[in-house]
Structure 1
Amino acid sequence: MMEKKRRPLPGSISTPTAAEATAAPVKERRRRRSGSPPAATTAPETMTAITAPVATDVRTRVLTARHPDRDKAQNTHQVQIEVDEEFATEVAADAARPIEQILKETHDYASVGDPVRMYLSEISRHALLTTLQEVSLAEELHAGLAAASRLRWADLTDAERATLEQLVQKGNAARWRLVQSNLRLVVSIARRYLSRGISFLDLIQEGNIGLLRAVEKYDETLGFRFSTYATWWIRQAVSRAIADQSHTIRIPVHVTENINRQTRLQYQFMQELGRKGTPEEIARAMEFLSVEDSAAIEAAHASGQALPPALEQRWQRAAARVRELARASEEPMSLESPVGSDNNSYLGDFIEDNGMLGPADETNRQLLREQMRDVLAALTDRERRVLEMRFGLNDGISRTLEEVGLEFGVTRERIRQIEAKALRKLRHPMRSRRLRDYLSS
Structure 2
Amino acid sequence: MTWAEMAPHDVLMQLYRAALDAADPLQVIPPLLPPPPLGRTVVVGVGKAAAAMAQAVEAHWQGPVSGVVVVPEGATRPLRNIRVLTGSHPVPDASSVRGGDALLQAVSGLHSDDLVIALVSGGGSALCAKPADGLTLEDKQSITKALLLRGASISEINTVRRHLSAIKGGRLAAAAYPARVVTLLISDIPGDEPTLIASGPTLPDASTCADALAVLQRYGITHLPAVLESLQAGRWESVKPGDARLAANTHAVVASAWDGMQAASRKAASLGLACHILSDAMEGEARDLAKAHAAIALSVAQHDVPFKAPCVLISGGEATVTVRGKGRGGRNTEFALAMALALKDQKGVQRILALSAGTDGLDGKADAAGAWINDQTLALGAQRGLSALQCLDGNDSASFLDAAGTLVHTGPTFTNINDFRAVLIL
Higher relative contact order (CA 8 A, sep 6+): 2
Q: Give the structure with the larger helix fraction.
A: 1
Q: Is the structural similarity TM-score above 0.5?
A: no
When Rg is computed on C-alpha atoms for both structures, the one with the higher figure is 1
Q: Structure 2 length normalisation: TM-score?
A: 0.24
Q: Tell me which protein shows more strand as a share of its residues.
A: 2
